[in-house]
Structure 1
Amino acid sequence: MSTAADLDAADPLASYAREFCPGDDLVAYLDGNSLGRPLARTVDSMRHLVEREWGDRLIRGWDELWLARAEELGDRIGAACLGAAAGQTVVGDSTTVMIYKLIRASIAMRPGRSELVILGDEFPTDRFIVEKIADDNGLAVRWVSAPHDGGITPEIAAEHVSERTAAALFSGVAYRSAWWADMPAVTGVVQSHGALMIWDCSHAVGSVPLELDAWGVDMAVGCSYKYLNGGPGAPAWAYVAARYQEQVVNPIPGWLGAREPFAMTQGYEPAMGIRRLVSGTPPIVGMVPLADMLSLIERAGIAAIREKSVELTSFAIELIDELIPDARLASPRDAARRGSHITVDHPNSARAVQTLWGDGVIPDFRHPSGVRIGLSPLSTTFAEVERGVRSLAAALA
């Protein structure tokens, strides 16, 4: 096994780690898949927003800078991370609200269908929204089971999607296991029954290369505070393929999603294109850190980011096999099916994570017995991974 020092020395992206705020007591940050670290440059970017864009320009900032920012950032996310042409991605509400909008829009686009399909162990927000929307609309939820260390597959999807399905909501990269689904194949299965495919890409965007246009994806959504490092509560994004945009009915119509928002007319007429998915005023302050991180991703390239992600997770698995032999890997060993985090199950996980946090080693606990190790390629070094896994081994013991 290569040493951490050798891997860091050979890493073409090594210099990027120095662009993030170091953290005073940080020994190893292994939770970039929950909350990405802030960039040092964002301190100046936030000051520029407050002092110049907001402080100097005041209300004029809307006409001069801000009204188009949700679509501009959406286009940048689409180009750098999603394989999406311009005009199909917009930044705006929380992931929760974006999922709600897309599912409600999908149901309206598939009248007469009676089911929504989702994994039984999908991220809680996704499940809660699907259950509530199904209950409100008299639909049934078809719950799907997947292996503990896996996620949705074309074969599993084929067993549950039917002509009754209005839409399926699956994670591109599973939040617990890091299973990276065969997204084009699963999309094809769902669409073969006339249903709409919605991908939750919260754990995929910025860590694995996505090709939503080429894969024929209908809709997608994701947060921006994990591998996009937008900060706590950063606005989410949504993608709607151009072929569907004029059919989408926004269930939360707001003034900036209207065709002529400043006309102040009676009645709602939706904007053309992706802007019809906008509701209220865009969260301009929350977009600043996201824009900074996109500049890094654009410079590094998603292919290089993915290559380092594979090396980081593979190195972590080798260390776990060596140092924690009684732990169970709950993530794919096949790198082609693995995102940028891994989960190990161990009966001492909850207590160990609590101890590690106090020591400046930050992994993530996942009920009931999982330790989730998130390795954000641009901010994580191989030495940091080794320090973290060695500390984890000691804490679990």
Structure 2
Amino acid sequence: MSLEVRTIDDTDLPDWLRAMRIGFLQPPVVPKEEIEIRRAGMDFERTQGAFDAATGRCVGTFRSFTQRITVPGGASVTTNAVTNVTVAPTHRRRGLLSRMVDRDLRAAKERGDAAATLLSAEYPIYGRYGFGPATWVTEWEVDVAGARLDARYAGPDGGGRIDLVDSAGVREFGPGLHERLRTLRHGVVDRTDRWWRFATGELALHTEASWTEPFHALYRSADGTVEGLLTYTADDVWEAKRSRTTATVRSLIAVSAEAERALWHYLLSVDWVTRVMTGLRAPDDLLPLLLPDPRAARVTTHADHLWLRPLDTPVLLEARTYTGAGSLVLEVDDPAGLAGGRFLLEAGPDGASCVPTTRPAELALGVGELGALVLGDESAVRLAALGRVTEERPGAAERAELLLRTARRPWCPDQF
């Protein structure tokens, strides 16, 4: 079977979208409206298709775009964000994904991207390409009555206030608020104007259900500064004249603990709401510990989220900050030849240096394990116990732990 992998052009787009829909088990008919909306947001030079010469049809899809991700300390690096990855069920196990991944990663390395990122639909797929799970997410289901919040709650303390705003207000205040969040929380990725237009219904794919305006709650501090934004929906369910309404969080971002606490307290105090679904939060979110009874919050999802594949080891390790001081010689194994080598990391609160070295390795690891460690979430000691990193010098894993781990866990609130 003759299979060609190449970048697509405008004339390929309808067939490419049909193939993507098949891969994601969606109806394989592409409305014209969807083609036009997707065309406006695609870079064809970074969009690949696999084509079967016998039929001329697209049987595999792959796309990437430029993204910025915050590393520990508030700086950000440029990454190659991967999305829309499918292979038709009729063309599995023929190396199509490997060919598309390899082309894309080498192009990203040539551009100078520090890493590649993606959200993996299936856990086992991307480790073999050097990706590692760098952030995790947790979702809670909160029984409002069981949480035992103060029923007399009337609003935030300390002079802050919460106001409901419409989508125009979200587009006015949201982007600036999110940019502030990006300087405070590692793992957060940037949001484009197109992202905000989709999030507020200004853009919608034909395949999506008709837009229903959600509720948007804005938190302002005592001096009027916008510090938090909550978007949620409510299903308005009643049984035997008693409310069984569920509020579902679409997004909650905050740049202060006061704003985050106030927005959760607000939502958990909305009349008629008996259950709250929190959406995908950081595993160390303030919930459930801000509840008088934390057992009222039940974990419904706990899973890996953003995966990271290093492309430039020195750039990644020099961009982030380190609370402690120390040095470590890392032997990074990368079969693809993109980010491997032996590197001396010398790091401290004032900055870091990561350079190639001929000194003996102290900690040996695969490039995927480095991807899991670089944002500070995974434990080098745990990976050593699993046999996934090797101590070439006793105590190296513990030193890596002290250098790389962060006080708060990284969090990526978005899907892409």
TM-score over 0.5 for the pair: no
RCO comparison, higher one (Cα < 8 Å, 6+): 1
Instruction: Tell me which structure has the larger Cα radius of gyration.
Output: 2
What TM-score range do you get, normalising by the shorter chain?
A: under 0.3
| TM-score (norm. length: structure 2) | 0.24
User: Which one has a larger percent helix, Structure 1 or Structure 2?
Assistant: 1
